[in-house]
Amino acid sequence: MLQNHQSSKMAMMERLVLPATLVSLLAILSACKISSPYTTPAGATSGPWEERGEVTVGLTLAVTGDDKALNQVFWHHVGKVQQSLADGEHTGLIGFRIRREIAGNRAWTMTAWTDDESLDTFVASEVHQQAMEAGNAALTGSSFARIRTPADRLPLSWKEVEGLLEQRGRHYGTVRR
């Protein structure tokens, strides 16, 4: 009888502990992020931006919703844009990187450009326009910022990127947790 009582008590404890452990694990994972390294595009060379000492940096925060099919389309196009950057298809690109939450719905980008015109040309490029059109349906919010900064500060830390987007970003939809 005592053994049955202890087994029952142990089973009850296991039912309580396992869900609490899973909730704790999910909370930890939702705070974890993964980042690509700061990447210089193929064929990049130094240029007059180094002499001027300042560069243009484009910053983005994208917040996706819960629709897995729409998110898959969004990430497919992010990959295409990322590949075009790595392949050196955009004049004036100095470097870039991307970061996303492992178990969350937010992603950040940072691109560094020789000047504002190069960033504008990239934003208007076919690959970027297609990504914005196809991926927009997945987004519940976004934020964009552009800054000028000394070239020797590249790459900006993700903490700084988040702060700049919070302070200077143009926010659309829901971007805060």
DSSP letter at 111 equals E
pLDDT digits (tens, 9 = 90+) for 127-144: 999 999 999 999 999 999
Q: Does domain 33-173 have CATH number 3.30.70.100?
A: yes
For 48, residues 6+ apart whose C-beta sits below 8 A from its C-beta are 114
pLDDT in tens, 47-93: 665 666 899 999 999 999 999 999 999 999 999 999 999 999 999 99
Answer yes or no: is pLDDT of 7 > 70. Answer: no
Please state, as a whole number, how many other Cβ atoms lie within 10 Å of the Cβ of residue 106. 19
* Contact between residue 107 and residue 52 where contact means Cβ atoms under 8 Å apart: no
Whole-model pTM above 0.85?
no
Domain spans of the chain?
1-31, 33-173
